[in-house]
Amino acid sequence: MPPKKNRGGGGGGGGGGGGAATLPPCTHVHVRHILCEKQSKLMQAREAIQGGRRFEDVAREFSEDKARHGGDLGWVARGQMVGPFEQVAFNLPVGQVSEPFRTAHGWHMCVVEGRR
């Protein structure tokens, strides 16, 4: 899981959340992610998901973090993640896969499995 203290150098925020509908506030999200150092590898993962493969299976194959757990980060509270990751995760509807985004840790995609 990307620690909060390494906030610098994010670049590309790109939410990945929905359009007009605003999500109700929450304090925790159950999130899975795929992390790749290279954007090209993450784009391969994205193609696999768009082709119908399950997010957790693609995470096991492509992710460079938490891969053995299908990218499952569990329940995460606000303030635990780096800024760009938190912004995407807390603004993403349950079940929707985010657009690729970058943090200081690399390139990510995530999916929220629950909000509370």
For the segment 40-85, what is each residue's pLDDT rounded down to a tens digit?
A: 999 999 999 999 999 999 999 999 987 778 999 999 999 999 999 9
Q: What is the mean pLDDT of the chain?
A: 86
Any domain includes 7: no
Domain total for the chain? Answer: 1
Q: Domain span at residue 97? A: 28-115
Does 14 have pLDDT greater than 70? Answer: no
Burial of 38 (0-12, 13-18, 19+ CB in 10 A): exposed
Any domain includes 110: yes
Any domain includes 106: yes
- Residues 38, 96, 5, 63: what is their CA dihedral angle, to the nearest 10 degrees? -40
Any domain includes 84: yes
How much is the pTM?
Answer: 0.80
Sign of the C-alpha dihedral computed for residues 69, 90, 77 and 95 taken in this order: negative
Location of structure tokens 């840790």: 105
Any domain includes 10: no
CATH label of the domain that carries residue 80: 3.10.50.40
